[in-house]
Structure 1
Amino acid sequence: MRTIDIIGAGIGGLTMAIALEQKGFKTRVFEQTENIKPIGAGIILANNAMQVYKALGLHKIIEEKGNHISSLNITKPDLIPLSKVNLSAFEHKFGVKNIAIHRAVLQQILIDQLSSSSLKLNFKLEKITKNSNGHTLKFKTGQTIQSSTLIAADGLNSIVRQQLFSKTNIRNVQQFCWRGITDYSLPLKYQNELNEAWGMSNRFGFVQIAKNKVYWYALKSFKKNKEELNSNNIKNYFSQYKTIIQEIISSTNKKQIHTAEISDLKPIKQWYKENVCLIGDAVHAMTPNMGQGACQAIEDAFILSECLSKYQNNIAFKKFQKLRIKKAHQVVKKSWMIGKIAHLSNPFLISIRNQIIKLTPESINKKQFNQIFKISRL
């Protein structure tokens, strides 16, 4: 049985292992953390990701553990909608729902599905050395592993990419992001929606991920003084927003709020090299403005497993890149653009932006979502 090694046990890496298992491969998954902790963040599994999980036989359990999202709304700070996209047509077309779920819950679902795969924790990759049989992987523990086929799902700061591929450019967006999960009972009208409110150089999104449990995220632009931004002031940053947003922030345990600067990876042309292939954030990390980061990694995993089941490494990787690169780069570029538009600071430009969003026909929005939800096939 052919063995394929995967670096990273995030959503993309675990989905990759499951997809390969179902194709008859044996996998070893190496994760740098000592244990899988329930990080306080949610995830939106859009229609394209759920199509993959349907193909893998996992969509029902994910739907049971998460919350069905039927509408995506862009609003003003007072939650008056600027744009509403009804997702029911896509549910009927593709036969799956859009699901909001706790990231840790999804991760555990995926771990529970692994049967023959070996999940190795506390294996932080330090060095990769090429040899006649592939590559030797050296870990911080001192252990070394010989790998004949290597898939890197190790994120934006991928060690594999840094050591084996040409220099790449990580772009800082100059936006700070806070993410949290809180016990909060949303009014019925918001329980099956994702709402993202756009203000002046900031925005706030929230969605129910389980009964009386809400995942939220808040972003604010900075120029030079990012040190001044901290979790204790989030409520003040969004004081002009609707009361429910203030309540969501206030109800969250500050220790459960996670902070990060937003960055992406400038699109790169080379996704594979000999017996090594990059997937997910390791090759096309994107800003979170379309909720497609994990979804695109999930697509990668499914399509790459299809390619590997039919072709040898180099041909499989070549076909995988050809099938995925155009769409992934389009999502990277559009996510970057949306982030800039959402964080305008000029009141006049904000007014124009809002009018354009309001006047954009829903048919155009649905056409764009249809392109995102459509998965390439061999």
Structure 2
Amino acid sequence: MKIAIIGGGIGGLTTALALQKNNLDVTIYESASEIKPVGAGIIMANNAMQVFDKLGIRHKIGDAGHKISNIKITDPQLKTLSNVQLNKFESKYGVHNVAIHRGDLQLILAAEIGFKNIHLSKRLAKIEKNENYKLTFEDGTIANADVIIGADGIKSAVRNQILNIGTLRDSGQKCWRGVADLDWATKYNHQAHEAWGKGRRFGFVRINDQKVYWYAVVNENLVKNPNNLLELFTDFNADVARMISETPKENIFVSDIIDLEPISKWQKDRVCLIGDAAHATTPNMGQGACQAIEDAYVLGKLFGEGKTVEEVFIQYENLRMKKAHYIVNTSAIIGKVSHYENALAVWLRNTLLKSTPNSVNEKQMEKVFDIDY
């Protein structure tokens, strides 16, 4: 049985590894011309690290990244509004949240799978179903597969061709992401910070011994000049402006924040969707890639139970959809609340954050970190 995974991002790579552990024949088709350490940072939350532990690569990821033991939401001056300690979950599940460069994570996964199983510069053009599936790529090459897994992102060609569903939603927010060598930022080690202001927020985390990953999210109506991010954060703590100004321009990426309106079907026959192709979320819970990694885990687990492909895909959809949609919907709400512009609404929000008991935050974390399927 030949399995084609369309897309070599974190979700596609992890799925390939999970299926290889079951001795399945997997080939990845990736549209990019090379797998290299580009992009920004990412936090692999406890749920994702549990999966990597089961796949035998937790220590490689931990060594390449930076352990995160608490998550702080602050006001613009970095005064704490909420501080979630993760030691309870570290003890319970035996893993830590890890912040890492996205490119470093992809290279670890690709090396584990074997580069010979990854075909680059393969952008999918057409899927045709005969006794199996015929894949035609934009470069004119053709491949055949018995099974297709669409891991090709929010604008998934697999989803559009096989299921013909999916509405993209614009959040009305822009996001800048940057990575810089900031040796002075060691005081923030092992912490993830997110500072909430009026219609804007700024988050940052160390991703290895040298580098800090930061992101800035701003309501579009407040953006006058996308090339002058600094002017939008002049009323934030001086360290925020310093992080932005000390980041080389070529290391800053800007994008719109969009998600996928939840869809009720992720599979058809011997084709299924994972990750952003199935349930793209806004980044407000730090769970986009983590949910794709859970998809990979569940698919690997089900294939390991000796079920047919059709049984695996139906059960995968049933097991994963509720949680994935919870993440999408909750993340969208957080995106709105964290971007209030009205002064009274901001004061009420911050007061509520400060008065929320730790037990409430921990209960939400437990819901996210639990991967008992």
For the criterion TM > 0.5, the same-fold answer is: yes
Deviation at 1:116, TM superposition (A): 8.7
SS in structure 1 at match of 2:256: strand
Deviation at 1:166, TM superposition (A): 3.3
Which range moved further: 140-149 or 68-77?
Answer: 140-149
Q: Percent of counterpart pairs with the same letter?
A: 44
SS in structure 1 at match of 2:78: coil
On the 8 A contact 1:324/1:376 being kept in 2, the answer is no
Deviation at 1:38, TM superposition (A): 2.1
SS in structure 2 at match of 1:336: helix
Distance 1:122 1:187, change over 3 A: closer
Q: What residue number does 2:336 align with?
A: 340
- Structure 2 residue 306 is matched with structure 1 residue 307: no
On the 8 A contact 2:37/2:107 being kept in 1, the answer is no
> Matched residues in 2 for 1:302 and 1:357: separation?
33
Distance 1:246 1:116, change over 3 A: closer
Q: What residue number does 1:219 align with?
A: 217
On the 8 A contact 1:21/1:116 being kept in 2, the answer is no
Q: Mind listing any 5+ residue stretches in structure 1 that lack a counterpart?
A: none
> Matched residues in 2 for 1:218 and 1:37: separation?
24
> Matched residues in 2 for 1:288 and 1:99: separation?
16
Once the two structures are superposed, what CA deviation does each residue of 1:214-254 show, in whole Å capped at 9, x if it has no partner? 0000010014x86x441x31111111100111110011001
Q: What residue number does 2:314 align with?
A: 318
Q: What residue number does 1:172 align with?
A: 170
Once the two structures are superposed, what CA deviation does each residue of 1:28-54 show, in whole Å capped at 9, x if it has no partner? 100001112322300100000000000
Aligned pair count reads: 372
Which range moved further: 199-208 or 181-190?
Answer: 181-190
- Structure 2 residue 159 is matched with structure 1 residue 161: yes
Q: What residue number does 2:40 align with?
A: 41
Deviation at 1:360, TM superposition (A): 0.4
On the 8 A contact 2:165/2:263 being kept in 1, the answer is no
> Matched residues in 2 for 1:260 and 1:341: separation?
20
Which range moved further: 306-315 or 56-65?
Answer: 306-315
Distance 1:117 1:297, change over 3 A: farther
Deviation at 1:188, TM superposition (A): 4.1
Once the two structures are superposed, what CA deviation does each residue of 1:286-321 show, in whole Å capped at 9, x if it has no partner? 000000000000000011111123211111011101
AA of the residue aligned to 2:86: L
> Matched residues in 1 for 2:336 and 2:105: separation?
30
On the 8 A contact 1:26/1:117 being kept in 2, the answer is no
> Matched residues in 2 for 1:315 and 1:116: separation?
30
SS in structure 1 at match of 2:264: coil
Q: What residue number does 1:204 align with?
A: 202
On the 8 A contact 2:36/2:107 being kept in 1, the answer is no
> Matched residues in 2 for 1:85 and 1:234: separation?
29
The CA RMSD measured in Å over matched residues stands at 1.2
- Structure 2 residue 248 is matched with structure 1 residue 253: yes
SS in structure 1 at match of 2:153: coil
Q: What residue number does 1:243 align with?
A: 238
SS in structure 2 at match of 1:77: coil
Provide the TM-score with structure 2 as the length reference: 0.97
Deviation at 1:322, TM superposition (A): 1.0
Q: What residue number does 2:90 align with?
A: 91
Provide the TM-score with structure 1 as the length reference: 0.96
Distance 1:188 1:122, change over 3 A: closer
Structure 1 runs of 4+ aligned residues shifted over 4 Å read none
Deviation at 1:147, TM superposition (A): 1.5
